[in-house]
Structure 1
Amino acid sequence: MDGTNSNFQAAYNDFLRRNKAVVAALTASYISTFFGYPLDSLKSRLQTIKTPISVPRLAALVYREEGVIGFYRGLWIPLMTISFVRAASFTIYARTKELFRDKHWLERDSFVDAGLVGCAGGAMSGALISFGSAPFELVKVRRQLEYAIAESKGVSLAKAPGTLDAVKEIFKTNGLTGLYTGFRLHFARDTLGTSLYFLEYDAMRHVLGRDRTGEQRLTPPWLPANLVPFLCGSLSGVSSWALIYPLDVVKTKVQQRALAGEAYRGPLETFTRLVRGTDPANPKPLLAGMTRIYRGLGVSAIRSITTHGLLWTFFDYTSNYIDHLPRSER
């Protein structure tokens, strides 16, 4: 019996080592997604609401009208798709970096080369993953903005429809292609955002003590080594998100109008109306318009710090745990 258990444990350990990126990505993603989702829900509402409102007031309004479930509406969508998105994303990112290493491209021991390799891996990951993630994110946006969409249609909701009902409604209205509403904006956002994200993360990790093979070197004496993943993940998440935030706002607005059955407006027109207002003869001040574009960035920044900091912390923790599992004797 002991021999059977030993063989099973050895096979299990070997399985974890062979699939380290997938296992670490899944573990980290479930934890980080759960803690960051309420902030993501508030972000979507802030992007589309017409009347400026503070985050605490909006949170109180959501709680009063929808209860705690309002903050987690649509949560199961990212949780269900996390196995595909995170695992595939980290796998593509890792394989792209391995290709660069095998081909001896950008192999100087510098943060510039480390960042560029991460950028290439991130761009490839974001572009490919967007084809699978776009329908799920559209449904997530629909679930988060159910009441705003119903208001646009002049409908009063006593109870928000479920996720399956939302999918059926999208499919009934626009067919299968309806699930890819706003896909070009989604593709551009994910490709650009993911490339910036991994560029910044790998460059910062190199500066703070990780070489091209992934081995940890000495970190600065003032920074505990176990805080490095959280710091790099938080900073890369916040900064890359801030850069692509206007694109995400436009994407969400375009999708909201399409889901509400309103007349289509292109990305440029949508951006212009958001920044300068609806009256071309009396445009809003540019600063006021940009303030609206970046509405919700504060809560998004907190979400990014929480989500990406925890993501990389648990990703590194799980990876290190797997690396130190006992190996079977051959």
Structure 2
Amino acid sequence: MTIELEEPPLTQDNNQVFKDLLGGTMGGIAQVLVGQPFDTVKVRLQSAPEGTYSGALDVIKRLLKNEGPRGFYKGTLTPLVGVGACVSVQFSVNEYMKRYYDQKLQGQPLSLAQFFTCGAVAGFANGFLASPIEHIRIRLQTQTGSEKLFNGPIDCAKKLYNAKGLGHGIYRGLVPSLFRESVGLGIYFATYEALIARELKKDKSIARSDISSLKLCLFGGLSGYTLWIAIYPVDVIKSKLQTDSLTKPNFTGSIDVVRKVFASSGIKGFYRGFIPTILRAAPANGATFAVFEITMRFLG
């Protein structure tokens, strides 16, 4: 399947990479500010022992009672900096790959498979950055009570490294992170480009830059849905590994997580926290794509 994108060829401007990075950073900041409360609820549900919470509403009630509204934004500094960096990598690598194919195909439209490849390469590159950032964020998000093991992201990184080193400490959960990012972002960006192409095909008089912010939000939200529906169980595996005890771990690796979660909870165990995640997908990803596109228009 070939997607007809009726717009000028992608520019080879020497400043384009900088523009892509800045656009992605702005999109990432928007994603965190909109999506962090949903993500905190999701992580609490994913990582808590069976029976701790009855559902998302129970998490919300306890958070408000015990930690107040600020509890939803615990560990926000790490994702605000980190997710901004991650999304800038995602978008800049994806745009670079689109330019690569544009050159290779001499201006011919990319196929859906090629858009998937662009996103998958971006996801794989991003996985090496996202894995430690998410690990630190999750450790901070799941701290409850007055006794804190970590006093912020830098302290968390130091203690993870001192306890388990780089590979088994800071980078714990790297393999499922790479799989999630590669497959998920391949689907994510391919879905978005397909929706953009469909919109341009409906009205041949408009260019990509003419598509309204509301529609960009809608397309980004739908792309977020396809991403999380496709890879959510892998995210649960990653979260289980990254919230495991540092001193007495329950899991030896991803396969061990799969075996133990299935034995204790069946298939539903891989979908704990799915509701807040899917509720987050539309606003967070809608904001990400809309802010990225608007920033790129502003930068020219």
SS of the residue corresponding to residue 133 of structure 1 reads: helix
1:17 Cα deviation after fit: 7.1
1:303 Cα deviation after fit: 0.9
Q: TM-score, normalised by structure 1?
A: 0.77
SS of the residue corresponding to residue 286 of structure 2 reads: helix
Does residue 314 (structure 1) correspond to residue 277 (structure 2)? The answer is no
Structure-2 separation of matches of 1:202 and 1:313: 13
1:307 Cα deviation after fit: 0.7
Structure ID, larger Rg: 1
> Which of 148, 161, 177 is residue 171 of structure 1 equivalent to?
161
Structure-2 separation of matches of 1:105 and 1:249: 41
1:264 Cα deviation after fit: 3.0
User: 1:6 corresponds to which residue?
Assistant: none
Does residue 145 (structure 1) correspond to residue 145 (structure 2)? The answer is no
User: 1:125 corresponds to which residue?
Assistant: 122
User: 1:245 corresponds to which residue?
Assistant: 232
1:322 Cα deviation after fit: 2.8
Does residue 181 (structure 1) correspond to residue 172 (structure 2)? The answer is yes
CA contact (8 A) 1:27 1:318 kept: yes
1:115 Cα deviation after fit: 2.5
Q: Deviations along 1:293-324, whole A, 9 cap, x unmatched? A: 2121111011111110011112222222333x
Letter in 1 for 2:150: P
CA contact (8 A) 2:232 2:271 kept: yes
CA contact (8 A) 1:115 1:201 kept: no
Structure-1 separation of matches of 2:282 and 2:176: 24
Structure-2 separation of matches of 1:215 and 1:99: 21
Structure-2 separation of matches of 1:46 and 1:54: 7
User: 2:215 corresponds to which residue?
Assistant: 228
**Runs ≥4 in structure 1, deviation > 4 angstroms?**
14-18
Q: CA RMSD in A?
A: 2.7
1:133 Cα deviation after fit: 2.2
Structure-1 separation of matches of 2:76 and 2:63: 15
CA contact (8 A) 2:47 2:239 kept: yes
Label 1:196 to 1:173 Cα distance change in 2 as closer, same or farther (>3 A): same
User: 1:153 corresponds to which residue?
Assistant: none
Q: Deviations along 1:50-81, whole A, 9 cap, x unmatched? A: 11422222111012122223211111111112
Q: TM-score, normalised by structure 2?
A: 0.84
User: Counterparts in 2 of 1:1-330, with a 5 A limit?
Assistant: 19-49=18-48, 50-51=50-51, 52-104=53-105, 107-108=108-109, 113-147=110-144, 157-159=146-148, 161-163=150-152, 164-177=154-167, 178-209=169-200, 215-216=207-208, 225-259=212-246, 261-277=248-264, 289-323=266-300
SS of the residue corresponding to residue 122 of structure 1 reads: helix
CA contact (8 A) 2:78 2:137 kept: yes
Letter in 2 for 1:267: S
Which sections of structure 1, spanning at least 5 residues, go unmatched?
1-13, 148-155, 220-224, 278-283, 324-330
Q: Percent identity?
A: 24
1:260 Cα deviation after fit: 5.4
Which sections of structure 2, spanning at least 5 residues, go unmatched?
1-12
SS of the residue corresponding to residue 107 of structure 1 reads: coil
Label 1:58 to 1:203 Cα distance change in 2 as closer, same or farther (>3 A): same
1:16 Cα deviation after fit: 8.1
Structure-2 separation of matches of 1:102 and 1:17: 15
Structure-1 separation of matches of 2:214 and 2:111: 20
1:227 Cα deviation after fit: 2.4
Q: Deviations along 1:161-220, whole A, 9 cap, x unmatched? A: 322332222122112331111211111111111111111111121112179xx942997x
